[in-house]
Amino acid sequence: MFDGNLTRLELDGTVEHRGGQQFVNGTGFAGDAFERVHRVEPHGFASHPVAGGIAAVFSARGSRDSAYAFGGENPSLRPSIEAGGTAIYDHLGNIVSIVASEMRIVHATGIHIVAPEIVLEGNVRLGSASASRPASAQGTVDTAGAEDVSNLATKVFVE
């Protein structure tokens, strides 16, 4: 079967953003050079591929001037996830993963959540999953002499 309109492209790290579109460069089979290939992404998702990423390139009407790249993941950066899991990650090892019934966020320096209102429902554990000492317990007396009768912090646990 003839597949001259579809090939594999190893990205060289060159990425150009122009007019709301992204264009990449890379090398195909047998060292074929591709320049300014339009990289297609789904609505609501944006990424900037790195060198070594692998994309599938489709040439519309067999013309290399009308090539479109799909994908672009670098296999050496892909995190290991369980079957059925999902991960959003970058080249620095930062990751948001949804595996089984848990969501996990890992970042090297910090996590910043911005919203007009943030709602946390359920128990909050500070330090580790095994934290079990309540940060505040009903019946304790604070430094002002007020007794804690219904403090939200009774659902916050520390190590």
CA separation for the pair 67, 38 (Å, rounded): 7
**What does pLDDT average to over the chain?**
86
Q: Give residue-wise pLDDT tens across range 55-113.
A: 999 988 777 778 999 999 999 999 988 888 899 999 988 899 887 788 888 888 888 89
CA separation for the pair 56, 41 (Å, rounded): 12
CA distances for 59 relative to 20, 73, 80, angstroms: 21, 20, 32
Centre a 10 Å sphere on the Cβ of residue 148 and count the other Cβ atoms it contains.
Answer: 15
pTM here is 0.70
Sequence spans of domains, the chain: 6-75, 79-106, 115-159
Domain 6-75 fold = OB fold (Dihydrolipoamide Acetyltransferase, E2P) (2.40.50)
